[in-house]
Amino acid sequence: MQRATDRHAACQRTATVNMDPFPILRAGAFVTSLAGVVHSSPSITLSPTLYTTTRISFSHVRTRYGPHFERALRMSDGAFHALVVIMRPRLPRRGLAAEVRTALALRCMGGGSYVDMCAAFGVHSASVYRAVWDVVDAVNSAAALALDFQVEDCTRRAAYAARFKAQRNSLFGKVIGALEGSAVQQEQPLATDVTCVADYYSRKGFYALNVQANFDADYKFRWMSCKSPGSAHDSSAFTGTNFGQALFHPENPVAARLIQVGHCISADEAYAASEVLAFPWPGGGKGDRWRDSYNFYLSSLRIHIEQAFGRLVWRWSVFCRPLRVHFVKRPGLVRACFRLHNFCRDHSTEGVAPFGDDRRGRSVFFFSNDAVSSDQRGRRRDRERSLLRVRMTERVEELGLVRPGVAPTY
């Protein structure tokens, strides 16, 4: 009788196991892993994805964009193919063609969604991201796209100064560049990526990278650095670079040569006093008309840097939202956008689209990093001495030029 009862119970357990769509070993409350379940029941598998790729050639992509090609990729046909020629030796030969890979990256930097790019190019989302970083690495490693300030070359310095004077009809014929610091908004970095997450929280109220850049009168960036956290002061971020250390040490050959010939770089109040950086008088000159006039004409000269940053953000709409890529890749992405901006300036592709069309209903996360009064920084700018600033102010007084709206002296 006992044997029959045991046989009946065993049959019930076998029936229960066969009816269970996910077989589980229940003896001793032991549960198998997912791998064990799949191994015991090979028929139980995940349903295959319905996404299928139909890769197309670049000519088909060009046809699909039609007259909107220049706006989609932020450059003309000629500039695009010239860029492909430069980067082709640095791009992988297997997989996507160099034209398709470059087009994917440019469309992504221009603000395109990977969903739309997958549909337009017939590729997987992983191919989009891989193409972006392949192109970013190629742009940053291409010597033809490098930022070449060449401050040691006297001929280049003379050309920079002549362009500034011609563009702005400047009184200061020795200015060879303009320096500016900006905050590029990013998502909060992980504690595993940085030593202190709070260092990247800027006073603007968001996490950012402090970007230092120097430009010329043609709206081209000649030097940039993107290695300081968002909380860093502009002066600290600049002096932390090799270029900044060279300019702030008079014994350095580069700084000594600039001081000797009188060449300088215009800057704002965020930077420390120097004989190479021309910065304004604090407090608007504090009632001195010539200091006030000097501030006005120096600001008029520096308007190029604001316009250059505006053109950069308009062209590469990746800056219209916080950077969401991996932390270690963010500086490289910013640097590649700066280089591609110069490339587009060389190929005269400014008339891609009206400025206002891409900014409607959106905000730009590229902020000035110096709009703070002297009291908030605890600095006495009125005590800082600069013979360069004194000489430039005397030049304004010698010419008798006052800012608009101020009565001239007779």
The average pLDDT across 291-309 equals 85
Q: Cα separation of 29 and 406, whole Å? A: 91
The beta strand positions in 101-248, using DSSP E, are 175-185, 208-215, 221-229
The string of pLDDT tens digits covering residues 254-291 is 888 888 888 989 888 888 878 888 888 887 667 788 88
Percent of the chain scoring above 90 in pLDDT: 30
pLDDT over 80 (residue 15): no
DSSP-derived letter for residue 219 is: S
* Strand runs labelled E in 262-305: 264-266, 277-278
Confidence of residue 79 (pLDDT cuts 50, 70, 90): very high
The residue count for the chain: 410
Can you give the pLDDT at residue 364? Answer: 42
- Whether the model pTM is above 0.85: no
At 226, is the pLDDT very low, low, confident or very high (cuts 50, 70, 90)? very high
Which are the contacts of 385, defined by CB distance < 8 A and separation ≥ 6? Answer: 273
Ranges of H-type helices in 145-239: 154-168, 234-239
Q: What are the residue boundaries of the structural domains of the chain, listed by start?
A: 2-40, 58-145, 154-315+348-399
State the pLDDT at residue 206: 93
Q: What is the mean pLDDT of residues 196-224?
A: 92
How confident is residue 51, by pLDDT bands cut at 50, 70 and 90?
Answer: very low
Closest to 223 in 3D by CA, of 339, 368, 302, 329: 339
Of 111-120, 255-264, 277-286, 355-364, the poorest mean pLDDT is in 355-364
- In 210-302, which residue ranges form alpha helices assigned H by DSSP? 234-239, 242-247, 253-261, 289-301
Single-letter amino acid code for the residue at 324? R
Two tokens, residue 361: 């209903």
Strand 366-368 and strand 175-185: pairing?
A: antiparallel
Contact 342, 220 (CB under 8 A): yes
Collapsing DSSP to helix, strand or coil, 20 comes out as: coil
Average pLDDT over residues 324-335: 94
pLDDT at position 217 is 86
